[in-house]
Amino acid sequence: MFYLGCAVWAYKDWVGELFPPGSKSGDFLRLYSRRLTTVEGNTTFYAVPKPEMVARWAAETPETFRFCFKLPRDISHAGPLVPQLDATHAFLERLAPLGPRLGPCFLQLPPGYGPAQRGDLARWLAAWPREHPVTVEVRHPDWYAEPSESALMELLELHGAGRVIMDVRPIRQASRGGELLEDARERKPDVPMHPLRSGGLAMVRYIGHPEPAENDAYLDEWATRVASWLAEGTRVYLFMHCPDEARSPALCRAIQARLEQLGAVPPLPWGRDEPPPAPPEQLSLF
């Protein structure tokens, strides 16, 4: 019921932290999938993977792992969604060899796609195959105000779709952080954090502060909330981001430790092949 991961699976600066010293780039996915349990598949936003790449992803990961691939921008950012239904179904067919490894796909709508396009979104969701879970992230500010937000939640629930929850508070409300934080503020949408669920699942994108201590209160809050959701039967996908991507695994460790202390989740598969190296002191919260 609980899946935890990062935005990417291949990051060279994780060698010696998430990955054992000496790890090669060709081994990153295999190693990642035996330490964390899901990943945001942002690579598919830019290009549909070739069949041989999908086959490789399936071969290198356990069946318990979940890829949450983003719909290509040619579908989500090319205007109305309905004209892209053939491309949508072709995308799903391309990912089919992943079998149980295919988690909820992720439709990220552009900032200009607002409640006025609700009918288009409704028709697209109605055509989405129900056997494959899907989640929707909205960025137009009007989606976060009533009555549009309630109408959106009703639509998602009707079609069994999840709502993507973006938490940018750690980078928006912090008083310090320097150039790295300013760049993150420019790139990430300034949207309110509304912890709403639909379709029996929740997908959370947590944008962490580069300074570990700045995340403590937010992680405490999220651990309590996720534990409650899991107890209610909600399937949760939690992705930890950081403007300094090298620190994302430490955020995963931090939220995992809190959830284990609450008795909400089992230990991660981390270290089945070998024990993970101790994280650098400045990246560790414990």
pLDDT per residue over 203-250, tens digit each? 999 999 888 889 999 999 999 999 999 999 999 999 999 888 889 999
Confidence at residue 175, expressed as pLDDT on a 0 to 100 scale = 62
- CA 257 to CA 4: how far, in whole Å? 12
Confidence at residue 269, expressed as pLDDT on a 0 to 100 scale = 77
Supply the CATH number for residue 184's domain: 3.20.20.410
Query: Nearest Cα to 183, choosing from 240, 239, 242, 243?
Result: 243
Q: Provide the percentage of residues in the chain whose pLDDT is more than 70.
A: 90
Confidence at residue 181, expressed as pLDDT on a 0 to 100 scale = 64
Cα-Cα end-to-end distance for the chain: 25
Structural domains counted in the chain: 1
Owning domain of residue 147:
2-283
Average pLDDT of the chain, as a whole number: 90
Q: Please, is 176 exposed, middle or buried when counting C-beta atoms within 10 Å of its C-beta (0-12, 13-18, 19+)?
A: exposed
Confidence at residue 161, expressed as pLDDT on a 0 to 100 scale = 97
Residue ranges for the chain with pLDDT beneath 70: 174-187, 271-286
pLDDT per residue over 175-200, tens digit each? 665 666 666 666 677 899 999 999 99
- CA 225 to CA 200: how far, in whole Å? 15
pTM over 0.85, yes/no: yes
